[in-house]
Structure 1
Amino acid sequence: MMLHRSIFQLGQRYRNPSIPAWMKFLRSSDRWSREELETYQLTKLKELVSFAYEHSPYYRSIFEKENISSDEIKGLGDIEKLPILTKEQLLKNNKDIHANYKFKKTFTATTSGSSGDSLVFQREEAADSFNRAAIFRGYSWYEVQPWERNGYFWGFNFSWSERLKTWLLDTLQNRFRVFSYEEKAFKSFVMKLQSATYIHGYSSMIYQTAKLINEKRLERPKRLKLVKGTSEKIYESYQDEVEKAFGRKMISEYGAAESGIIAFECPHGKMHINMEGVIVEEMENEILLTNLQMFSFPIIRYKLGDYITLAKETEKCDCGRAHAILNEVTGRVGKSVYGHEGIYPSLYFYYIFKNLGKVHDLKLNYQVIQRTKGNLEFYVEQKMSEAEQNLLKKEIKRYFKEDISFTVIDDHMLSITNAKKKSFISHL
């Protein structure tokens, strides 16, 4: 363990020298009052707006046009005076949003492009280190150190050169990953899990691995302290299989490349917003995100593309942290659903299946595909009885009435695109 710790810290000093200072800060702010957290947010917001005006051609133009300056930001509520940034604007004005300031060290960051176009931008070392420190703080809630043995569920390249590079990077980080679900390779991966302290990655991959462990009746890992799902929604239907296979539920880390870590689930089951790093607004159920730590590519009131539900400010967590609570990430703001006559939000699917779980304790993994207007294909992973199919059909009709024709196909393996499982795929 000492060797892996030394290797990790050596790499950290080379790549992210700011992490120790950020960790010291975040350990302190972890127990700040709400007032202290909001005071810090206001200070950082003023600093960000002032810097963006000075060094980002895009924001300078926008702020001058709207007659906006940091002097007008006297309270957090004044953030509403600032313009909203859409994904289209972000992509179109990529170059001008970047700050014309010479940072000592930057990294190239790339979004997955799972919702459309991929975004490439520069992130300064301080912001990158803050983001990593925020993740490590979340690990500390579970008494996990980042250099401990860990299993990683993520995409990989099939070329031998890229796999060799991946293997080398994983080895340096005391990490291993599943490259194949073929029996021999998979059993080797499960054997390695016996020595792991934590596992993390795509929630759908963790779930599929848990299912295989349970189906093959393989030995359950004994040392796991943390099972963390990220990059995808964690469905309630995943948890039974995950707990059976790994001995604990899957917790959620919510973030994005543009925003960094937005929220991390504590051992008491609440998603605490990383208030030192972001300001989260909820507007018509959509998230607006301001990254308080990244100045090389300012992100202010950005429509990230997720539906969310924020807890009331009066809601508290038994862990004692005063950070705001994110009740739920309800799903991606995806393409519209087209009926024979009307147009509907894809969020309907979330509520259809949530209602089945809440009212009938029917927890299903699903994927909906639309190929033509007025027609939907509902694919369900679980084998369903006739009564269960009728419950689903009744719920679908509650939302779409007679404007949608649909078929239900159960006992079906759900498709994955770019290593992510999308709940709604539209070909229109």
Structure 2
Amino acid sequence: MLNEIIYRIGVMKRNPSMNACYKELKKTEFASREELDKLQNERLQELMVFCYQNSSYYRNIFLAQKVNPIESVFKVSDLRFLPILDKKTLIKENESIHTIKNYNFKKLFFSETSGSTGEALTFYKDERWDSYNRASINRGLSWFNVNPWDRNGYFWGFDFNFFKQFKIKFFDMLVNRFRLFSYSDKELSVFLKKCRKAKYLEGYSSMIYEVAKLANKNGIKIDNLSLIKGTSEKIYPYYHKETIKAFGCKIVSEYGAAESGIIAFECPEGQMHLNEETAIVEVVDGRVIVTNLIARSFPTIRYDLGDFVELSEEKCSCGREHKVLKEVTGRVGSNILGENSTFYPSLTLYYVFKNIALQHGIELAYRCEQKVLGQLDVYIEHDMTKKLVKILDNEFKKYFNGNVSCNYYSTQSVRVKGKKLKDFVSFI
């Protein structure tokens, strides 16, 4: 009861509109397809008018495309006529995209993110935008009978500075949270002991996987959790075997970005439903393009998030008619460079290891690095047997045509300590 009171006081102070946003989201979570389409068109029209009036960047875009949303109705189907926005543009045109000089927002939050690209992006998030984002997370939690004030464990980053740890632990206490700061036996023992009184866990999926492996290795089983939520990283199928054994739950996916808010949340039936009340999702050449319907202080219309995804028309048995994000197949990133100036998209790795899982029944945790032209270092959480090397060689040859040679390394963990897991990193 006390934790709920503290939480609600914090919400009233920081996000006064959040309760209203949450009620709206709960009201439409079982809306019909027609109702969702109507809502998206209405919110898109409002967004377009606002941007035309308050953002010099978008006003110029609209004028160039001969679009005036004040004089004519702009629908979701019309988005295709507007240019796609990338992160470099968000950084370069940062000031002209912002609307904070032309519109008086009651409250703004400073946000900074580098994401997976390493490019620093800063922007101001208006209170309603921030509230809808938090309310979207809370709606997802509610699907698993979890409240945001329930006791929870957090896997998110490392900071070994004593004073910063003390500050973090103090704020964690206020929100009924505890977190793991290192993989030491003592820290791990304390963390797992606290898990026995927690309702849910959340954070980097690769960290959750690592802790699940350690728990299983030590014969520790936690069976009181209602939810394990993974975010910010891709969730690989082989993670679930370890987390189900250790914690009794698979990792549920929450997909989003700081610039775009929550884009999708996995339901109890295992389908990732798009958060259509706050975002329009297009797939162009396999890439996810997102329009944030709520953001006003820093609008992002047709933003290329940098991921390859697949959408599905499949109806979910949970009854929600929000479109389904079938899979985030990979990150749009550096190319793997072969000999003779040939190059291959890093997404190739996804298909290599997916084929091995499907055809040979071997699910491999992997990380690949390239430091030399025409060579790929492949780190795998598996014994490097002659049979496995042959399987790997045959599969890589299908895609690289002999232009890339692979060096295989067996490792206890593919995760680089203290960093977000990336399946491919180029040092060239």
Give the TM-score normalised by the residue count of structure 2: 0.97
Residue equivalent to 1:339: 338
Q: CA deviation at 1:268?
A: 0.3
Which residue pairs with 2:283 in the alignment? 282
Following the alignment from structure 2 to structure 1, what is the Cα–Cα distance between the partners of residues 250 and 267?
12
Structure 2 residue 102 is the aligned partner of structure 1 residue 103? no
Q: Is the 8 A contact 2:160 2:181 kept in 1?
A: no
- Does the 8 Å contact 1:268/1:318 carry over to 2? yes
Tell me which residue corresponds to 1:183.
Answer: 185
C-alpha displacement of 1:61: 1.8
1:310 corresponds to 2:311? yes
Evaluate the alpha carbon distance shift between residue 74 and residue 63 of structure 1 in structure 2; reply closer, same or farther with a 3 A threshold.
closer
1:200 lines up with 2:199 in the alignment: no
Residue equivalent to 1:15: 14
Match of 2:403 in 1: 403
Matches within 5 A, 1:316-331: 316-331=315-330
| Aligned pair partner of 1:162 in 156, 164, 167 | 164
Q: Which runs of 5+ in 1 are unaligned?
A: none
**2:52 matched residue in structure 1:** 53
What is the distance in 2 between the residues matched to 1:69 and 1:163? 51
Q: State the alpha-carbon separation in 1 of the partners of residues 365 and 427 from structure 2.
A: 21
Q: Which residue of 2 aligns with 1:266?
A: 267
Q: Which residue is equivalent to 1:379?
A: 379
SS of the aligned residue for 2:309 comes to: strand
2:292 equivalent in structure 1: 291
Alpha-carbon separation, structure 1, partners of 2:355 and 2:172? 41
Q: How big is the shift at 1:33?
A: 0.4
**What is residue 247 of structure 1 aligned with on the other side?**
248
Deviation at 1:222, TM superposition (A): 2.5
Q: CA deviation at 1:158?
A: 2.1
Q: Give the deviation of 1:60 after TM superposition.
A: 1.4
- How far residue 327 of structure 1 moved from its aligned partner, in angstroms, is 0.3
1:352 aligns with 352
SS at match of 1:288: strand
1:273/1:323 contact within 8 Å kept? yes
Partner of 2:237: 236
> Counterpart of 2:339 in 1: which secondary structure?
coil
Partner residue in 2 for 1:227 = 228
Query: Which shifted more, 51-60 or 378-387?
Result: 378-387
The structural deviation recorded for 1:75 is: 3.0
The question of whether the paired residues in 2 share the 8 Å contact of 1:156 and 1:163 is answered with: no
Equivalent position amino acid for 1:240 in 2: K
Check the 8 A contact 1:201/1:229 in 2, yes or no.
Answer: yes
Q: Does the 8 A contact of 1:379 with 1:412 survive in 2? A: no
Distance 1:67 1:418, change over 3 A: farther
Give, in angstroms, the shift of residue 412 of structure 1.
4.6
Q: Distance in 1 between matches of 2:133 and 2:95?
A: 23
Cα distance in 2, alignment partners of residues 415 and 6 from structure 1: 38
Structure 1 window deviating more from structure 2 (71-80 vs 383-392): it is 71-80
The one-letter amino acid paired with 1:171 is M
Q: Aligned partner of 1:37: which letter?
A: L
**Distance in 2 of aligned mates of 1:400 and 1:150:** 45
- Determine the C-alpha separation between the residues in 2 that align with 1:157 and 1:213: 22
Identity of aligned residues (%): 47
Q: 2:297 & 2:142 partners in 1: Cα distance?
A: 28
Would the aligned equivalents of 2:158 and 2:182 in 1 still touch at CA under 8 Å? no
Secondary structure of the equivalent of 1:4?
Answer: helix
| Number of aligned residue pairs | 424
TM-score, with normalisation over the residues of structure 1?
Answer: 0.97
* Gap runs ≥5 in structure 2: none
Amino acid in the other structure paired with 1:120: T
> Is the 1:109–1:123 Cα contact (8 Å) retained in structure 2?
yes
Kept after mapping to 2: 8 A contact 1:259/1:290: yes
Provide the C-alpha distance between the structure 2 equivalents of 1:156 and 1:39, rounded to a whole number of angstroms. Answer: 44
Letter in 2 for 1:45: L
Distance in 2, matches of 1:8 and 1:412, equals: 40
Letter in 2 for 1:191: K
Give the drift of 1:235.
0.4
**8 Å Cα contact 1:254/1:262 also seen in 2:** yes
Q: 1:235-263, CA deviations, whole angstroms, 9 ceiling, x for partnerless residues?
A: 01111111000001111000000011000
Aligned residues of 1:338 and 1:344 also touching (Cα < 8 A): yes
Q: Is residue 307–residue 328 contact of structure 2 (8 Å, CA) maintained in 1? A: yes
- Check the 8 A contact 1:289/1:301 in 2, yes or no: yes
Larger CA deviation: 68-77 vs 186-195:
68-77
What amino acid is aligned across from residue 28 of structure 1 in structure 2? Answer: K
Amino acid paired to 1:6: I
Q: 1:74, CA displacement in angstroms?
A: 4.2
C-alpha separation between the residues in 2 aligned to 1:274 and 1:123?
Answer: 18
One-letter amino acid of the structure 1 residue matched with residue 410 of structure 2? D
Query: How far 1:113 moved relative to its partner?
Result: 3.5
2:292 partner letter: N
Alpha-carbon RMSD across the aligned residues, in angstroms, is 1.2
Name which of structure 1's ranges 60-69 and 22-31 shifts more when overlaid on structure 2. Answer: 60-69
Q: Kindly provide the amino acid, as one letter, of the partner of residue 247 in structure 1.
A: G
Q: Classify the secondary structure of the residue corresponding to 1:110.
A: strand
Partner AA of 1:279 in structure 2: I
Q: Residues 181 and 417 from structure 1, CA distance in 2 versus in 1: closer, same or farther, beyond 3 angstroms?
A: closer
Which residue of 123, 126, 129 maps to 1:124? 126
CA contact under 8 A between 1:194 and 1:223: conserved in structure 2?
yes
After superposition, the Cα gap between the structure-2 partners of 1:217 and 1:370, relative to the gap in structure 1 and judged at 3 Å, is: same
Are 1:64 and 2:66 matched, yes or no?
no
Answer yes or no: is the 8 Å Cα contact 1:114–1:418 preserved in 2.
Answer: no
AA aligned opposite 2:22: M
**Does the 8 A contact of 1:84 with 1:302 survive in 2?**
yes
The Cα of 1:389 is off from its aligned counterpart by: 2.1
1:298 to partner: Cα distance: 0.5
